[in-house]
Structure formats: structure tokens, C-alpha cells
Amino acid sequence: MVRSIPFLLVLLLSIVSAQAQAISINAKLNTTKVTEGDTVKLTITIDQTADGKAPDFSVLNEHFEIISTFKAERSNILNGRFVSFTSWILTLLPKHTGYIAVPPIRYDNVTSKPLKLHVTKRSSASNSEQYLFVDAKIDKQQAYVQEQVILTVRIFSGNIDIYDPSYQPPAIENAAMEQLGEQRNYKTTLNGTQYDVFEFRYAVFPQKSGTIQIPGARLEATVFRSRSRNYYDPLNGKQVRRYSPNLELEVKPKPAEYPADQPWLPAQSLQLSESWSPDAGNANIGEPITRTVSMQAEGVLSTILPTVPTSDIEGVRIYPEQAESNSSVGEHGIVSTRTESQALIATQAGTIELPAIDVTWWDVEEQAVKVTSLPARTIQVTGTNSRPQTDSSAAQAPPLSSAGESPPPPLGQTSINQTWQWIAVAFFCLWLLTLALLIWALLSRRANSRATGQEDNQASPFSAGQLREANKALQAACKAQDAKAARIAVIELFRQQFRDSTIRNLDDVAQKAGTDALPDALRDLEAHLYKNKNEAKWNSEALLKATQEALSRPATKDQKQVLQPLYPS
């Protein structure tokens, strides 16, 4: 019995030693050289079941951005021994160029060997490796404060299909930016390679003098070769991120020769126009006439258009109305318009002089102060406020009647009273007409609501029934481990839930999620779609749980731009 104790101790130590030696960890990159903006795959493998534990990947954050993480487990028989393996496949995006060290990854008490990755700069010139790149340019290198600068961003795609694209325009500090129309699509050839081009134009208005940095626009996508469906092609299913080059804009302050007492208005052109109702030239005392002045300027925001200059005019009362401002897209950028109306009522007869209207502005093309004017106007006013009483008229005035009635008022006073009576009658008729139109609109709306309720199931692409069907389809796909069907179902589920037909891919779904769990589950789903489906079982329960959690939260307004036309046909 005493002899057996040392034997058992030796056996126990051997078992513990064998278990300690059995745990190993291995790290592997799918390539040792990548180009700036391309991702690389890092695979960490241990020869045992993870049991819910994971290596410490935080050490990668210094040099890499972790795009996605996929876990796979497998078992097989090796040399007559049953062995289990657990792998973590990480999609990494290098943060800078040069030689980057992939640090050792720690799991329990073991660490992997360090690796080295060479990240090369992406050439600005187009060549066979430039299958996808983003370019940007501005139409001028210098501008004045609040002067319009045109920024053009172009995405070049050569011989590839783009899947689930996500485009973000540059966010410029100390500047306002407006997109000019819809994106423009066309083809071009660079250095013998044909590209599909997706062009975006923006009007940028710097709000501060000095040097303004224009950061790059960002494009994220998964790419496939258009004419190569080889499963082993390293480009197929590759996640990439591209940036346009950073730009600088020198912003000058308001020039010294610009009048200090005038509002600053840098524009490409400015016009003034006016209209009268009724047509000006003659007016009667007490009768209003409306003057409408429109100011239209190219290359400025409507928010900086000044008010139309006014001045007090003797013998005229002026009642301004609320001004209207709007902007549109023209051939050379933003075209802004400001419209002001004034009601003019003459209080005395005779000739009234309306002064000229002058608007001072800065011509950005000629680099000079300009003044645009409306000429002065002369209006002849007729009529009287009251008729003066003379001795003869007093002698001829009829006596009071026996009933004590007053004599009729003078002729001028009768004319003015009749005018205001007609105005009151006109306003009363307009009020009745407005009331009738309001009643008719309410009745029509009620009728349309009933008709819409009857036709909703036929005309609308959204309904409660379709929402339930999409939910059932997602549950069935997850139960059957059908990742492709689950992708279709989760997109349709969110389209029905938010009644938003612009939700077309998993990136759009992630933007609507409002949680952190669902984007992670969607990345796992997407990663599973691009890999050998036999390698690991897809965690469909995580997707179901994350989807229900996201749909139970209040909806938020999603304003992210999606590059719809980039989808492969």
C-alpha cells in the first residue's frame, strides 16, 4: 500500500503534465502583404473546445480595426485519438501602412507566436490592382467666407460586383454642405481599364476663414470579381474600405473694399425683379396695391440672402408680409431665391416717389463689388379723404327732417365708406368659400380613408400579414440553419416592421437595429455566407434573439445614405 502511493503521484503528475502540454494555440494570416484599405484574415486555433471562453483580442486594437469575428468548432480523430479544435476567424483592417506586428494572442496560460504584416500604400494612379477606388476634387483652391465651392466625389469600380455597399460623404467642420441633385452614373476608361463611375456633387460653403480640411469620403463594401467565379479567388467575398484623398481649402475673409454697412453676400450672379397687383402707375387713396420683389442669386445659401431695403415714404403706409426663401440646384450649383411682398396704401393724393432698391453683393468671378438695382417708380394717387365744406354748400344743405335724420354725408366720404363696405363683403365671401372648402376636404379625406382601408391589402407593399409571414420565414430559416433564407427573411422583416422600402441589405438592417447585438449577429450571418458552410454550425439562435430585441425597441429615424445603384445587376 505504501509502495502504491508514489506510483499514483507519478501517474497524476503525468496526467496533469500531459493535459498542460496538450493545449496549444496557433495564429495564421491568410496573406503577409495587403494594400491600404484591404482587409486581412487572422485565424486563431486552439486544440480543445473553448467552453464559452475566448482569447483576448484587445491587443489588436492598436494597429487594426476588427471588422468581424467568426467562431468555428470541429472534431476529428488524429492518430487514433479524438481531438477537438476551436477557431476564431477575424477580419482585420489595418489602420496604417508599413510593417505591422500582429502581437501574440493569449488564451488561458498560452500565447500564440507574433506575426508580421506588410501594408503597402495604395497608388493614386489607376492600374490593374485598382479595381475599386474613390477620388475627390474641388473646383477652386481658394474661396471667400460663405462662397460656394463645388466638391465632386467619384467612385471607380472596375471588373467587380459590389455587394452591400455603404457610402458616407465627408463631414467638414466649419462648413455647410448641400448635395447637388442625384448621383450620376457613367463609364470611363483609365490607362486601358474600363470603370463604372458613380459621381456625387456637393456645394460646400465655408463659414470660417483660414485653412479648412476636407476629409475623405468613405466607402465600405464586399467585392466579387465579375468574370471570375473561382471559389479560391482571394478577391471573392473580400470586405474592403476605401477613402477619397484628403483636401485642403484656403478660406479668405471678407475683402477690405467691401462696404462695411452692407451685409456680406458673395455670389456668382444676382438679379432683382418686381411685380405689382394691380399694375402700378395709378392708385386711389385707401385702396391697397401689392408690390412683390424677388431676389435670385447663384452660389449662395438662401439663409444669407438679405432683406429687401425699405424706407419710409411720406403719404404711404407700408405693410410687409412674411418673406419666402427657397433653394434649387442649377447648372453651377445652388440657386437661392428670396421673395418679399408689401401692401402699399396711399393716404394722400398727388405724386408719390418710390425710391430705387439697391442690393450690394460681391462678384466672386470678377472679384469686385457689384450693386444690382430696381429703378425708382412714380405713382399718381387720386381721390380725397373728405370734401371740404364751403359757404355755398352750407347754404344749399338740406334741413333736418322732422324725424331728426342727418343729412347725407359728403360725396368723397360716401365713396370711401362704400369702398370699405365692398372690401368687407369680399372678405366675408372668401371666409364662406374657405369654410365650404374645408368641409369638402374633411369629407373627401374620410371617404379616401375608407377607400384606402379597403384597398390597403392590395395596393400597399406593407401589411400586418406580411410582417407575420416575414417573422415566420426568419424563424423557419434559423431552425433549418438556412443562412441564405435567413438573410432574405430578416431584410423583409425589417422592411415590413419599419414600412421602409429602402431597406435592401444587411447594412440597412443594422442601421435600423438600435442595439449592438443585432449588428454582431448580422456580421456572423454574413461571414457564414462567404465561408465553407461545412466548417462550422451557424449560430442562428443569436440572430433570432438579437432580432426580437431590436424590434422591441422604439424605432429611430435612419438617415444613413445607402449607395443603391452600386448593387450588381
C-alpha grid cell for residue 377? 417708380
- pLDDT score of 273: 95
Residue 398: pLDDT band with limits 50, 70, 90 = very low
Count of alpha carbons within 13 Å of 419, Cβ hemisphere only?
A: 14
- pLDDT score of 210: 95
Q: Where are the alpha helices (DSSP H) in 256-356?
A: none
Residue 511, Cα to own-chain centre: how many angstroms? 13
Rounded to 5 degrees, φ, ψ at 454 are: -75, -30
C-alpha grid cell for residue 66? 476588427
Neighbours of 276 (CB within 10 A): 15
Rounded to 5 degrees, φ, ψ at 267 are: -145, 160
C-alpha grid cell for residue 59? 491587443
> What are the start-end ranges of the E strands in 366-502?
368-374, 377-382
Q: What is the pLDDT of residues 194-214, one digit of tens each?
A: 889 999 999 999 999 999 999
Neighbours of 43 (CB within 10 A): 15
Residue 395 has pLDDT above 50, yes or no: no
Q: Judge whether 310 and 320 are in contact, CB under 8 Å.
A: yes
Highest-scoring range by mean pLDDT, 70-79, 285-294, 558-567? 285-294
Give the residue from 136, 139, 171 showing the smallest Cα distance to 156: 136
Residue 455 has pLDDT above 70, yes or no: no
- pLDDT score of 6: 53
Residue 506: which residues within 8 A CB-CB, separation 6 or more? 164, 487, 490, 491, 522, 525, 526
Residue 85: pLDDT band with limits 50, 70, 90 = confident
- pLDDT score of 397: 40
- 3-state class (DSSP) for residue 253: coil
What is d(CA 132, CA 39) in angstroms, rounded to the nearest whole number?
A: 14
Residue 223 has pLDDT above 90, yes or no: no
Q: What is the pLDDT of residues 372-381, one digit of tens each?
A: 999 998 888 8
Highest-scoring range by mean pLDDT, 69-78, 238-247, 360-369, 508-517? 360-369
Range scoring the smallest mean pLDDT among 93-97, 269-273, 396-400, 411-415: 396-400
- pLDDT score of 567: 40
C-alpha grid cell for residue 438? 374645408
Residue 17 has pLDDT above 80, yes or no: no
What is d(CA 87, CA 367) in angstroms, rounded to the nearest whole number?
A: 66
CB burial of residue 488 (10 Å; 0-12, 13-18, 19+): middle
Q: What is the pLDDT of residues 139-174, one digit of tens each?
A: 999 999 999 999 999 999 988 888 889 999 999 999
- pLDDT score of 245: 92
CA distances to 255, 257, 495, 507, 534 from 471, in Å? 63, 68, 11, 19, 26
What is d(CA 332, CA 148) in angstroms, rounded to the nearest whole number?
A: 10
Q: In the chain, what is the greatest distance between 2 CA atoms, to the nearest angstrom? A: 156
- pLDDT score of 523: 82
Q: Where are the alpha helices (DSSP H) in 259-366?
A: none
Residue 454 has pLDDT above 80, yes or no: no
- pLDDT score of 440: 82
Omega before 278 within 30 of 0, i.e. cis: yes
Give the residue from 68, 69, 18 showing the smallest Cα distance to 48: 18
Q: What is the DSSP letter of 28?
A: E
- pLDDT score of 120: 86
Q: Judge whether 524 and 70 are in contact, CB under 8 Å.
A: yes
Sequential DSSP letters for 37-99: TB-EEEEEEESS--TT---B-GGGGGTEEEEEEEEEEEEEEETTEEEEEEEEEEEEEESSSEE
